[in-house]
Amino acid sequence: MNTILEVKDLSVQFRTEEGSFHAIEHVSFSVQEQKTLAIVGESGSGKSVTSLAIMQLIAENGNITGGEIFIDGQDILKLSRKQVQHSILGKKISMIFQEPMTALNPVIRIGEQITESILEHQQVSKQEARKIALDTLKQVGIPSPEQRMKQYPHQLSGGMRQRVMIAMGLVTKPKIMIADEPTTALDVTIEAQILNLLEELKRTYKTSILFVTHDLNIVADIADDVLVMYCGEVIEKGPVVDIFEHPRHPYTKGLLATMPSLDQDEKVLPTIKGSVPNISKRPQGCHFHPRCEHATDQCRTTKPQTYQVGLQTVQCFLYAPKKESSNA
Amino acid sequence: MVKYISKRLLVSIPVIIGITILSFIIMKLSPGDPLANFINPSINMEDLEKSRQALGLNDPLHIQYVKWIGQVIRGNFGYTYSGNHSIGNLILERLPNTVILTLSAFILSFVVGIPLGVIGAVRKNTRIDYGITLMSLVGVAIPSFFFGLLVIYVFALLLGIFPSGGMENIRAGFTGFAYYMDILHHLVLPALVLSLGNIASVSRFTRSNMLDILKEDYIRTAKAKGLRNKAIIYRHALRNALIPVVTIFGLSIPFLFSGAYITESIFNWPGMGQLGIRAIQDREYGIIMALNLITATLVLAGNLVSDILYAIVDPRIRH
Ligand SMILES: Nc1ncnc2c1ncn2[C@@H]1O[C@H](COP(=O)(O)OP(=O)(O)OP(=O)(O)O)[C@@H](O)[C@H]1O
Ligand SMILES: [Mg+2]
């Protein structure tokens, strides 16, 4: 199976008035052909920064301080800005954002916003581009697409706009699409429709999806693999079934325990005690130790390595190979 | 749209009437006598009183106003106190010259101001941006009479490439194409002086709009689509940044017209501004009132044009 996206040791730093800090550190993962990888984590854990870094879209005050990003085998950090624009963005990788209300240009017709992507990346005539755009709008379930093409974003509902965003992302048949909380701004019934649509399109367009969310129910529905982030680091990753059945990291365990399930009668959902530390006051050693019931002195001083447990990778000393057993 | 425009036009009528009443009162309250110029030892005070009576200057204010507005509605602006010239004709003679000057300054403001603003925003915090910012600050801060004299000194006296004043070289007696080129030649300096402040404010306004727009989510979307910089800046950002700029289209019309008073005086440009300044000195109430009315109409028309343009360029309002 081919790897479409591979991120190795990616770190991103921001400069602010209070000083510089790393929003993400040594993030590594890969996405296989036609698979969905979900990134989960609490607010501020670095999910969006990770996706924006892959798209080379981090804010002006941030920069990538280390790591490699391979898209379809090409290390894009070694390419020039022009090359990335021309041969990567919108062509091999596309992105849909959380806010369909603001992500579309308010003064450009839907049709033009879609066809411009095609014309930028493919050698086709205007008529052909128009036809591709129409077909794609049909694919994403937009009724009377001819009419919609002539309309402006404010004439569409939120769900419709997100469908337009998806059409815009797929119209060039990219290898992978990043979706950063694409349904958070939508109500529940529309959310379900959009998720089904993404599932279906993934198959028709043969794309991989990098799906950012903090909703574990969505993860269970659509992901093949899961990446759990905490304080800018990947603390656990693995196939979705393994993670849900045997979460290893105490944080992942806590996260899954907070998940409401249908056969649960309890009124009060369990929560992980404590709260996410402020980005500038991240604790030494394992970032999670102040909230962890298994924390030892080692956790307070040294950062754990990543350890392989079955198909999962975990950043926690609980899974370090025991010295005694290796001696025996 | 038609309904909106006709509504706006209807609302303008009472506004214009109000403006004429106000300016009429202010002018009558200001000290000075239009006939003061005619007072000399040989004149008979009784004759003066007679002509005052004949001109209606002794009528109560509201009667004077009603008489005047009644004439204006019939397209008659009255006659000057001295020489009994038709005010309408005086203005008509000069209006085209002022229109040429202000229109050139208007075009210059936007044709130069918008690109400067875009460059400033795209090259934010570079030397080019700082240079443009500095020029804009100077442009806004410098009084036009001073800039006018400076420009005359440099381009007319030192370098001798442009004439120092007037609208045409009468002695040369140009005709046809040469005649228009001659006017254009005379137009360059006054149009530059008149538009300087406007160029500066248009470029500042465009720059700050552009910077705001470049932070918008849809610009990030455009980047994520892998569009080239040109398309991002011109197709996606500028289109949005220009929407508020059209509001100063209309607003700058009266600004330029009043600026023309000073510029026309400096460059001896035979326009309405020159006429107005002379009228104020001579207390030619008829001329001042006529010019007030024209300016007020322009302000209202400018505002209306801005709002209509706004609705045309912004699809969110259009629909
Ligand atoms: N331009 C920036 N300047 C400074 N700090 C930033 C910037 N962008 C992001 N950050 C910080 O980086 C951290 C990670 O942010 P990120 O947006 O990736 O979180 P997230 O996991 O996507 O959270 P959410 O679920 O709320 O979207 C946060 O602490 C955030 O404040
Ligand atoms: Mg986010």
pLDDT tens string A161-178: 999 999 999 999 999 999
Give the residue-averaged pLDDT of B110-117: 95
Reduced to 3 states (helix: H, G, I; strand: E, B; else coil), residue A57 is: coil
Report the pocket of ligand 1 as residue ranges, CB < 6 Å.
A 14, 16, 23, 41, 43-49, 59, 61-62, 214, 279
* A98 and chain B in contact, CB less than 8 A: no
**pLDDT (0 to 100) of residue A73:** 92
Q: What share of chain A has pLDDT > 90, as a percent?
A: 75
**pLDDT (0 to 100) of residue A267:** 56
**Per-residue pLDDT at B113 exceeds 70:** yes
Out of A95, A108, A116, name the one closest to residue B224 (CB): A95
Q: What share of chain A has pLDDT > 70, as a percent?
A: 95
**pLDDT (0 to 100) of residue A326:** 45
| pLDDT tens digits for range A70-107 | 999 999 999 999 999 999 999 999 999 998 889 999 99
**pLDDT (0 to 100) of residue B26:** 82
Average pLDDT, chain B: 87
**pLDDT (0 to 100) of residue A96:** 94
Tell me: ipTM over 0.85: yes
B243: nearest CA partner in chain A:
A107
- Contact between B246 and B309 under an 8 Å Cβ cutoff? The reply is yes
Least confident of A1-5, B42-46, B252-256, B279-283: B42-46
Between residues A323 and A57, the one the model is more confident about: A57
pTM for the model? 0.84
Out of B221, B314, B315, name the one closest to residue A103 (CB): B221
Beta-ladder partners of A240 = none
- What's the A166 CA to ligand 2 centre distance in angstroms? 18
CA–CA dist A304, A217 (Å, integer):
29
Of B315, B263, B271, give the one whose Cα is nearest residue B291: B271
A112: nearest CA partner in chain B:
B235
* Nearest CA, atom 22, ligand 1: A48
Contacts of B231 in chain A (CB under 8 A): 116, 120
Contact A108 B236 (CB under 8 A): yes
* Nearest CA, atom 25, ligand 1: A43
**Per-residue pLDDT at A265 exceeds 50:** yes
Q: What share of chain B has pLDDT > 70, as a percent?
A: 97
**Per-residue pLDDT at B114 exceeds 90:** yes
Give alpha helix (H) positions in chain B.
Answer: 2-29, 45-55, 61-73, 87-122, 127-141, 144-151, 176-214, 217-224, 229-230, 239-267, 272-282, 285-313, 315-318
* A120 and chain B in contact, CB less than 8 A: yes
Contact B225 A86 (CB under 8 A): no
**Which atom of ligand 1 sits closest to the CA of residue A47?**
21
**Per-residue pLDDT at B78 exceeds 90:** no
Q: What is the DSSP track for A72-140? A: TTEEGGGS-HHHHHHHTBTTTEEEE-S-HHHHS-TTS-HHHHHHHHHHHHS---HHHHHHHHHHHHHHT
**pLDDT (0 to 100) of residue B267:** 92
Give the residue-averaged pLDDT of B14-37: 80
Contacts of A99 in chain B (CB under 8 A): 217
**Per-residue pLDDT at A264 exceeds 60:** no
What residues contact A106, with CB distance under 8 A and at least 6 apart? A152, A153, A154, B218, B240, B315, B316
* A168 and chain B in contact, CB less than 8 A: yes
pLDDT band at A276 (very low <50, low <70, confident <90, very high): confident
Q: Name, of A136-145, B36-45, B73-82, B276-285, the range with top average pLDDT.
A: A136-145
Contact A102 B217 (CB under 8 A): yes
Contacts of B218 in chain A (CB under 8 A): 102-106
**pLDDT (0 to 100) of residue A259:** 76
Contact A57 B236 (CB under 8 A): no
Half-sphere exposure of residue B155, counting CA atoms within 13 Å on the CB side?
A: 20
| pLDDT tens digits for range B249-266 | 888 888 888 888 899 999
* A208 and chain B in contact, CB less than 8 A: no
Out of A94, A106, A116, name the one closest to residue B316 (CB): A106
| pLDDT tens digits for range B199-214 | 999 999 999 999 999 9
- Contact between A211 and A39 under an 8 Å Cβ cutoff? The reply is yes
**pLDDT (0 to 100) of residue B82:** 77
Q: Tokens for B272?
A: 């309405």
pLDDT band at B76 (very low <50, low <70, confident <90, very high): confident
**Per-residue pLDDT at A314 exceeds 60:** yes
Contacts of B217 in chain A (CB under 8 A): 97, 99, 102-103
**pLDDT (0 to 100) of residue B172:** 77
Give the residue-averaged pLDDT of B107-120: 95
Give the residue-averaged pLDDT of A195-218: 92
Rounded to a whole number of angstroms, the distance from the CA of A230 to the nearest CA of chain B is 26
- Contact between A1 and A33 under an 8 Å Cβ cutoff? The reply is yes
| pLDDT tens digits for range B160-209 | 899 988 888 777 778 888 888 998 999 999 999 999 999 999 999 999 99
Contacts of A106 in chain B (CB under 8 A): 218, 240, 315-316
| Total number of residues shown for chain B | 319
Give the residue-averaged pLDDT of B99-104: 92
- What's the B108 CA to ligand 1 centre distance in angstroms? 44
**Per-residue pLDDT at A280 exceeds 80:** no
**Per-residue pLDDT at B100 exceeds 50:** yes
- What's the B231 CA to ligand 2 centre distance in angstroms? 27
Contact A103 B220 (CB under 8 A): yes
Between residues B56 and A242, the one the model is more confident about: A242
pLDDT band at A327 (very low <50, low <70, confident <90, very high): very low
Establish, for the pair of chains A and B, how many residue pairs have beta carbons separated by less than 8 Å: 81
